[in-house]
Amino acid sequence: AGVVHASRSRLLPVATGLLAVLLLGASEARAHGGQFRGPGAPPPTGPGLGPVPLPTVITPGETWQTWWDLNRLGLIPGRDIALRRQVITPSDDQGVSLAEGWAKRRALAAQKTVVPLLLELVDRRKKHRNEVVGAALIALGKVSQDKVVLPIFLEWLRDPKAHQVVRESAALGLGLMRRSRASLQLDGATLDALRDELLKAVDDKDAHVRVRAFAALAIGLLGDQPIGNAYTKDGRLVIRALWKRLERAGPDVDVPIALMVALGMQPPAGCPDAVREGLHHIVNGKRLNKRRFQSIERSHALTALIHLRDPSVHAMALRILRRTREDEMLKRAVYLAIGRW
């Protein structure tokens, strides 16, 4: 007890001194840009995040992350402003729901504010950084509702001197022009022309493999969009074109995998039996035009069959699981498929 009393006696003056310092400096203490306020202290004054710094220019070769780290405070609104901001809900005087009202406002803001900004960013004359142009092309594919922007995508996609990031973003942006609502979808003839352009990009042996793969993926994204005429109904010609390129695929795996992903995103009704049979051969490890497919390619072939609603894929999946020496990657694809069933 005597030891405890002595310890308390030594600690009491120290604790008292620290408490006094904290109380005296409670309203002014600052550390790492923040503020310490004691109980009952008034809220801090000022714009919240402090004065907006001047934009900092980065040296050539630095990444956009470096620019963001240096300039983000000037782009983020102050905390005080954000807390005072009031949300204005759309009016439903015209009989539209609140969700529809917000959708109309977002679409209007996109076309009047966002799209003009993106068009400025993809303008060749502005000479923006490749990462900025690529990101703007992807965003433009997501928000634009006018097919007048399509020549911009095609110009970047066709340009052999354009940076790889920009070309692959242009290809992906074309695929992102898909729309779920029928009223916002492009017409079938325009979409068929886009598919032809993307197939040309897939065939471009001089293009980077990522550009070719993203072009194939974009064809897949357009799989549920309108078709031009009865001759191309259910994506028949697209499926055959994708399969033809898969049959003569080279040794790399990126483009064949992208082709299989695109195949699986096409309407099942337009897939001929010959294509289904060929995908079965790939899954089972058989050669296709003297080419043996790797484990990851076989897995994607199985996934494509599942998406195409192949009637025999269930039995084939069970056989794969029963094989003791079957490839583990293919078995994992089967387990994932069972989870979707």
The model's pTM is 0.71
Residues in the chain: 341
Can you give the pLDDT at residue 163? 97
Does residue 340 contact residue 319 with C-beta atoms inside 8 Å?
no
Instruction: Indicate the SS3 state at residue 128.
Output: coil
The separation between CA 65 and the C-alpha centre of its own chain, rounded to angstroms, equals 18
Angle in degrees, CA 329, 333, 339, rounded to 5: 145
- Catalogue the long-range contacts made by 45-50 (C-beta closer than 8 Å, 24 or more residues apart): 46/80, 47/78, 47/80, 47/81, 48/78, 48/79, 48/80, 48/81, 48/82, 49/73, 49/76, 49/78, 49/79
Can you give the pLDDT at residue 70? 79
Nearest to 34, CA basis, from 49, 24, 52? 49
Stretches where the chain sits below pLDDT 50 are 1-8, 11-12, 14-16, 18-50, 52
Can you give the pLDDT at residue 102? 74
Q: What is the pLDDT of residues 76-105, one digit of tens each?
A: 666 555 555 555 666 655 666 777 777 777
